[in-house]
């Protein structure tokens, strides 16, 4: 099968397409023919070997061979299964996230039956289904700590990215009042997703407008807790998605009136995939897809993700 492989850290050019052996499912696994995957922030940071401390897990001085094929999100069709699998049948359309195992930037991938995998939402394309899980599940992992209900407020910084567009929709679903921070060009999009107010960060510093929130969610790792602490109400939570320094801050602020929350490692569960499927089928959540690239154009897709300017998700189409 064709797959995107890499064997050293570096720029997008370390990626290449090769023919590699097709995986064989274990007794508790299904073999998925990949129709669509994504290139996301996890792929970009792992490929670049950043931050350096992360190489303790990913491999030093070279990446782990087990992660030779990147890609976590997937949507496709089950074409074979192990003897112990009962939830899925051959021919089922599925979607999910192969967290910590990777391998979806290929024509086939194996996933455990009990992994973050479910039947594809009815009415959704493979590209839309592939673009759901990573950003939404990272957002969920943070938002659950904010106790969002009707009457509570949240500011989402980086609201037009993969995690941000998911967070806006989920916060709205939970009943919170949502302030989104992004470029003015993306204000229409985030309003359509449920934002009550939009702040253009190029024109206004939200920390200086006198407003305070029950939670501030940094969806892109660009605004620090010290910078925005004054924008939190007493009892408020700063929700982080990046930077290992937030691990220490989470401990320092555990008993403070304004706390840092940094849920690591992120949890990816089948229950959350099923929850997202339910929201999609009810018309209460949609994946935002910025661009789609065929597998042969993985370098172009990766370069675009590396700009940090993508809106929502970038999809790799393996089968058109």
Q: pLDDT tens, 172-207?
A: 999 999 999 999 999 999 999 999 999 999 999 999
Which residues have C-beta within 8 Å of that of residue 261, sequence separation ≥ 6?
142, 145, 146, 237, 238, 239, 240, 250
Residue 274 has pLDDT above 90, yes or no: yes
Residue 53 pLDDT: 72
CATH architecture of 135-261: 3-Layer(aba) Sandwich (3.40)
Residue 68 pLDDT: 95
Domain boundaries, the chain: 2-132+287-317, 135-261
pLDDT bucket at 243, cuts 50 / 70 / 90? confident
The encoded tokens of residue 158 equal: 């980086």
| CATH domain 2-132+287-317 topology | Quinone Oxidoreductase; Chain A, domain 1 (3.90.180)
* Mean pLDDT of all residues belonging to the chain: 95
Residue 50 has pLDDT above 90, yes or no: no
Residue 60 pLDDT: 86
The encoded tokens of residue 272 equal: 């959350």
Cβ atoms within 10 Å, residue 286: 18
Coil, strand or helix at 291: strand
pLDDT bucket at 56, cuts 50 / 70 / 90? confident
Residue 234 pLDDT: 96
Residue 20 burial class via C-beta count within 10 angstroms: exposed 0-12, middle 13-18, buried 19 and up = middle
Residue 58 pLDDT: 82
Pair type for strands 232-240 and 213-218:
parallel
Residue of 313, 319, 318 whose CA lies nearest to 131:
313
Residue 226 burial class via C-beta count within 10 angstroms: exposed 0-12, middle 13-18, buried 19 and up = exposed
Q: What is the pTM of this model?
A: 0.95
The share of the chain scoring above pLDDT 70, in percent, equals: 100
Element (H, E) at 246: helix 245-252
């Amino acid at each position: 099968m064709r797959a995107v492989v890499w064997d050293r850290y570096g720029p997008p050019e370390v990626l290449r397409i090769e023919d590699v052996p097709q995986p064989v499912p274990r007794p508790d696994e299904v073999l998925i023919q990949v129709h669509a995957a994504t290139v996301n922030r996890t792929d970009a940071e792992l490929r670049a070997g950043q931050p350096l401390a992360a190489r303790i897990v990913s491999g030093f001085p070279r990446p782990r061979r087990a992660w030779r094929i990147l890609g976590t999100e997937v949507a496709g069709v089950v074409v074979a299964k192990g003897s112990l699998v009962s939830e899925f049948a051959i021919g089922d359309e599925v979607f999910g996230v192969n967290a910590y195992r990777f391998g979806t930037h290929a024509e086939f991938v194996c996933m455990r039956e009990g992994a973050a995998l479910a039947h594809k939402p009815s009415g959704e394309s493979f590209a839309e289904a592939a673009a759901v899980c990573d950003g939404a599940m990272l957002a969920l992992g943070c938002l659950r700590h904010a106790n969002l209900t009707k009457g509570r407020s949240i500011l989402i910084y980086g609201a037009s990215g993969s995690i941000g567009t998911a967070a806006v929709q989920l916060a709205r679903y939970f009943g919170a009042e949502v302030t989104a921070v992004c470029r003015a060009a993306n204000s229409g999009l985030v309003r359509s997703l449920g934002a009550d107010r939009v702040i253009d960060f190029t024109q206004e510093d939200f920390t200086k407008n006198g407003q305070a929130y029950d939670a501030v969610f940094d969806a892109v790792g660009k605004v620090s807790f010290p910078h925005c602490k004054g924008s939190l109400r007493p009892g408020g939570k700063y929700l982080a998605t990046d930077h290992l320094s937030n691990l220490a801050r989470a401990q320092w602020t555990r008993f403070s009136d304004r706390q840092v929350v940094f849920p690591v490692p992120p949890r990816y569960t089948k229950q959350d995939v099923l929850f997202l499927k339910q929201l999609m089928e009810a018309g209460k959540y949609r994946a935002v897809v910025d661009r789609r690239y065929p597998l042969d154009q993985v370098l172009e897709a990766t370069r675009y993700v590396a700009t940090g300017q993508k809106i929502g998700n970038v999809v790799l189409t393996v089968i058109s």
